[in-house]
């Protein structure tokens, strides 16, 4: 068998002395697999404008599936003949137990290979000739190797009747020389190296073209990423607690819903390019619920709803800017606004788990994109006690019972609390989340009555996933360095709730 590079040379030298090359007849004449010829043609094509190809189709014949079996193992009649002991023959019923004996016997008889002695009971089948040739297998070999392609030949017609040979459509190519034709083509460079860039040699080098039609390796199976597995666990916990999932399918949000509606002043550092990704196209959103926007403007600039506001010039342009949402609280805000528009208020428990984006300096614990888990409850006259109570319940389901709360600040919650949990392994308190009660400056412009309060909390999905899977670098979890084998092999991690102590 020729190697593909020697075949490449052969094909090019053939073309240098011929006007054209027919892949089918070429394969035929040189007794090479047609697919190998086509593959080589394709790889020559990928080097540059060396050859032109034109596709044609042709009718031909090929061994059928059954034909291929006979090609490998010999014909039924031949094998049956071989099964008969040369001297004494074999009892006919015994012979007929042989695989495919009915066809084999009939064919062998009509070829005059056998004689049947009916004088004894049961009849004895004996060889009539000393030696036979397996003509069927031979024909199939010739057809397979393209030596025999004429469907009108008597023997071929016979094989077609026996369904050992079938008609096939062959795609072949007519190959001709093109502008850059040469028998001596330099193998294109497959990789751009640092050296090529330094010496500038890349400018004149011939690069192999990408074959975008190449089929990739089929993955043996899919698998869930650890973040998705842990997300499922958290989702389950929220569902058990009677929470409904919020729709989080928009990574792009405008500053109005991400910041302004959350009473985050327009000069807040989080609204700086240092911290947030702004979109350039489309850069702005222009449609808002205008009456709501007016209320937001008022509560920021001059104050309203019993608040003195921030006392600054609130600019619509700033609110219009599109950003990659910096927190899923933007989703909660939209959902709360929708809820406030309902004629009759009904208490709700909502949650979400999805991606957010921040312009962070990347290191082992920070990425520019990560997931937030967020829960909220809207009801009449909720207190800080309700928030603390629900946090104990939620974190108990995550296996954490020792909690501490530290006063904190968020523009949109008052009071706000950072949540700490005692880590038995580390023997210290670690921060596990952030929480608070949404401010009246956020809820009242939406249209909620004053006796409705909303408690909420948020945490990252990455931190608990890293702890559960023993991963100490967040970049092993997201990004180009993720080890797919790690994803395949990692088991489901169960989040085990802590027992309620007496
Ligand atoms: N949005 C906050 C954050 O990004 C989390 C939070 C959610 C805080 C809800 C209070 C209430 O960290």
The number of the ligand 1 atom at minimal distance from the alpha carbon of 374 is 7
Band (487; pLDDT cuts 50, 70, 90): confident
Which protein residue's CA is at the shortest distance from atom 5 of ligand 1?
A: 458
CA distance 325 to 331: 9
Span 489-499, pLDDT tens digits: 887 777 888 87
Residue 327 Cα to ligand 1 midpoint, Å, equals 7
Please, which pLDDT band fits residue 207 given cuts at 50, 70 and 90? confident
d(CA 88, CA 1): 45
* Strand partners for 459: 373
Residue 185 Cα to ligand 1 middle (Å): 63
**pLDDT at residue number 398:** 86
Instruction: Name every residue whose Cβ is closer than 8 Å to that of residue 88 and which is 6 or more positions away in sequence.
Output: 124, 126
Q: Is the CB of 326 under 6 A from ligand 1?
A: no
Distance (Å) of CA 310 to CA 141, 235, 302, 439, 460: 90, 37, 7, 14, 30
Lowest mean pLDDT among 197-206, 232-241, 451-460, 481-490: 481-490
Residue 348 makes CB contacts below 8 A (sequence gap 6+) with 244, 339, 377, 378
pLDDT tens profile 209-249 = 787 888 888 877 788 899 999 999 999 999 999 999 999 99
Q: Could you give the CA distance from residue 502 to residue 497 in angstroms, rounded to a whole number? A: 15
Percent of residues, the chain, with pLDDT higher than 90: 69
Q: Which of 324, 329, 358 gets mutated to test ligand 1 (max ligand atoms within 8 A of its CB)?
A: 329
160-190 residue pLDDT tens: 999 999 999 989 999 999 988 888 776 678 8
Locate the ligand 1 atom nearest the alpha carbon of residue 438 and give its number: 11
Q: Is the CB of 325 under 6 A from ligand 1?
A: no
CB 324 within 8 A of CB 279: yes
**Which residue has its alpha carbon closest to ligand 1 atom 8?**
435
Indicate whether residue 329 lines ligand 1 (CB < 6 A): yes
Q: What is the pLDDT of residue 2?
A: 58
What per-residue confidence (pLDDT) applies to 208? 78
What is the pLDDT averaged over residues 15-40? 91
- Establish whether residue 410 lines the binding site of ligand 1, counting it when its CB lies within 6 angstroms of any ligand atom: yes
pLDDT tens readout for residues 268-318:
999 998 899 999 999 999 999 999 999 999 999 999 999 999 999 999 999
Query: What is the pLDDT confidence band of residue 399, given thresholds at 50, 70 and 90?
Result: confident
Please tell me the predicted confidence (pLDDT) of residue 87. Answer: 87
The response to whether residue 448 sits with its C-beta less than 6 Å from ligand 1 reads no
pLDDT of residue 95: 95
Closest alpha carbon to 335 in 254, 255, 257: 257
Q: Best of 374, 407, 463 to mutate for ligand 1, by most ligand atoms within 8 A of CB?
A: 374
Spatial separation of the C-alpha atoms in residues 172 and 22, rounded to whole Å:
7
Average pLDDT, integer, range 244-255: 97
The ipTM, to two decimals, is 0.96
* Residue 374 Cβ < 6 Å to ligand 1: yes
**C-alpha dihedral sign at 425, 428, 432, 436:** positive
* Band (486; pLDDT cuts 50, 70, 90): confident
All structural domains of the chain, each given as residue ranges with its CATH number in brackets, are 4-63+147-183 (3.30.1370.240), 76-133 (1.10.10.2330), 227-489 (3.30.930.10)
Strands (E), 38-123: 51-63, 90-91, 114-117
462: closest CA among 276, 223, 247, 226?
A: 226
Using an 8 Å Cβ cutoff, are 400 and 432 in contact? yes
Q: What digits encode the pLDDT tens for the residues 99-158? A: 999 999 999 999 999 999 999 889 999 999 999 999 999 999 999 887 888 888 899 999
Gap from CA of 308 to ligand 1 centroid (Å): 24
Least reliable range by pLDDT among 22-36, 178-192, 286-300, 422-436: 178-192
CA–CA separation, 322 and 245 (whole Å): 24
**H-helix segments, 182-264:** 194-199, 226-240, 255-258
372 Cα nearest atom in ligand 1? 4
Q: For a substitution probing ligand 1, which of 258, 328, 372, 439 has the most ligand atoms within 8 Å of its CB?
A: 372
What does the pLDDT read at residue 162?
Answer: 94
Kindly give the distance from the C-alpha atom of residue 1 to the centroid of ligand 1, in angstroms, as a whole number: 68
Contact 114, 126 (CB under 8 A): yes
| DSSP 8-state code for residue 284 | B
Q: Does the beta carbon of 436 lie inside 6 Å of ligand 1? A: yes
CA–centroid distance, residue 27 to ligand 1 (Å):
69
Closest-lying ligand 1 atom to the alpha carbon of residue 416 = 10
Q: What is the sign of the dihedral through the CA atoms of 393, 395, 399 and 400?
A: negative
């Amino acid at each position: 068998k020729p190697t593909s590079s020697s075949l490449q040379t052969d094909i090019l030298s053939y073309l240098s002395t011929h006007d054209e090359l027919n892949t089918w007849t070429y394969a035929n004449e040189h007794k090479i697999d047609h697919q190998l010829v086509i593959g080589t043609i394709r790889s020559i094509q990928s080097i540059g404008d060396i050859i032109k190809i034109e596709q044609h189709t042709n009718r031909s014949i090929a061994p059928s599936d059954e034909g291929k079996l006979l090609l490998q193992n010999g014909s039924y009649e031949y094998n049956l003949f071989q099964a008969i002991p040369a001297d004494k023959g074999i009892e006919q019923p015994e012979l007929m137990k042989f695989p495919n004996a009915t066809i084999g016997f009939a064919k062998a008889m009509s070829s005059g290979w056998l004689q049947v002695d009916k004088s004894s009971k049961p009849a004895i089948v004996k060889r009539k000739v000393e030696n036979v040739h397996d003509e069927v297998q031979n024909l199939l070999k010739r057809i397979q190797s393209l030596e025999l392609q004429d469907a009108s030949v008597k023997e071929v017609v016979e094989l077609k009747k026996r369904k050992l040979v079938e008609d096939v459509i062959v795609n072949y190519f007519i190959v001709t020389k093109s502008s850059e034709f040469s028998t001596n083509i330099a193998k294109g460079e497959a990789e751009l190296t640092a050296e090529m860039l330094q010496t500038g040699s890349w400018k004149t080098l011939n690069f192999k073209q990408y074959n975008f039609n190449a089929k990739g390796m089929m993955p043996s199976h899919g698998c869930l990423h650890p973040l998705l597995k842990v997300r499922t666990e958290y989702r389950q916990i929220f569902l058990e607690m009677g929470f409904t999932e919020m729709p989080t399918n928009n990574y792009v949000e405008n500053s109005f819903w991400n910041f302004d509606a959350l009473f985050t002043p327009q000069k807040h550092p989080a609204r700086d390019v240092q911290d947030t990704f702004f979109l350039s196209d489309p850069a702005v959103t222009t449609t808002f619920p205008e009456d709501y926007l007016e209320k937001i403007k008022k509560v920021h600039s001059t104050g309203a709803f019993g608040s003195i506001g921030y006392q600054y010039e609130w600019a619509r342009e700033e609110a219009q800017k599109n950003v990659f949402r910096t927190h899923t609280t933007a989703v909660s805000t939209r959902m709360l606004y929708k809820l406030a528009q309902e004629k009759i208020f009904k208490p709700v428990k909502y949650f979400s788990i999805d991606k957010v984006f921040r312009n962070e300096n990347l290191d082992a614990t920070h990425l520019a994109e990560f997931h937030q888990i967020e829960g909220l409850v809207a009801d009449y006259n909720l207190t800080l006690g309700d928030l603390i109570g629900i946090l104990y319940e939620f974190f108990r389901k995550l296996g954490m019972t020792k909690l501490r709360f530290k006063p904190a600040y968020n523009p949109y919650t008052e009071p706000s609390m950072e949540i700490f949990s005692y880590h038995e392994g580390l023997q210290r308190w670690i921060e596990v989340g952030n929480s608070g009660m949404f401010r009246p400056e956020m809820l009242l412009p939406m249209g909620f009555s004053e006796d409705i309060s909303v408690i909420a909390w948020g945490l990252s999905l990455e931190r608990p996933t890293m702890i559960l899977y023993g991963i100490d670098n967040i970049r092993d979890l997201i990004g180009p360095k993720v080890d797919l084998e790690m994803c395949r092999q990692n088991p489901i991690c169960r989040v085990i709730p802590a027992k309620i102590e007496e």
